[in-house]
Structure 1
Amino acid sequence: MLRAFWRASDEAATAEFAARGLAGARIDRIATEARANKQAIYLYFGSKEKLFGAVVRAKMAEISDATEIDPDALAESVGRLFDWYREHPELVRLLLWEALESPREVQGQAELREEVQRKAGYFTEHGAGGVPDPARSQAVQDLMFTVFGLIAWNFAVPQLRRIILDEEDEAAALERRRASVMEAARVLAESHGFG
């Protein structure tokens, strides 16, 4: 019962927050869409801000569970990440709203940091037979942040993509961008001694 409540609330809250941000979202709309009691949502989450944080954490966990960065197949991993973002554009919108409306440390940030550090550590230790050291770890972190930016920007500013790219077809433009981002990730990895 609680799992069904969370799933319905999460889907409704994700759509509401992605469309309107933290300030513009309304718990009553979330409750109506989730077919849940508004007071139950407040009781379960505590506040609209905590619900927003839970939604962002859930989406971040979803992408973390769905995608792994394989040091031996970086370009393919980046292609899978690109595809995930294409299928889940709400994550970019949520992250943009979070940056605009909650610029300080957000709830759950420590857990997310641990997960990212685990992935970066794995990449550092297994990529190109690497030996863990601080400089190599920082290179992996920089590479990860840059690659995520290259992917997310395509979905954060689709109007800019349409202005810059000379593509009539949206799907063709995204395939072109996917290939370009994969190649950029490969080149960046090689320039940092990975791959």
Structure 2
Amino acid sequence: MAIVGPAPAAHGGNRTGRMFTGDASGDFLFAALHAVGLASQATATHRGDGLELYGGTGHGPGALRSAGEQADTPERRTCRPWLAAEFELLGPGLRAVVALGAFGWQALLPVLGDAGWPLPRPRPAVGHGVQLTLAATGRRQELQVMGSYHPSQRNTFAGRLTFNMLVELLARAAGLAGLGPTGR
């Protein structure tokens, strides 16, 4: 299972050495991953703090930027080869992907299409709980792609994305990926 979202946390990803950590959005995401059994603990504070992911990886299809800056289409195009290379390394065992927010969704779909999965036309818009089933290809198995609102404070404070909504979506994705209650 993979999670794709905007760039690493501007104020903590470098400190912790992990994607999506070190800010409030990452704290929200990792607490949900822990609640589902996909992370060993709910927080990431520094390198060597004991955090482990079980059965999943995190990927950022954009460069590190300051809080409040928006990523644009040229940035997604520029970073696409690195995201594609990461997905190639995951190999044919990849079963489910969760895209965080519109940026993650819009960066992910072209990479999956380039990797050979047939994409629906027109491409569906991202939304929390949107799910695509991409048919197996010659060298890849069927892939479940799920969309979620980004766990930004703007979304979580407004109630657009609640903790229970994210936990439920991650649990569903883990089940689709064949991961057990401890993510394995």
TM-score (norm 2): 0.32
Higher helix proportion, which one? Answer: 1
Structure of higher CA gyration radius: 1
TM-score (norm 1): 0.30
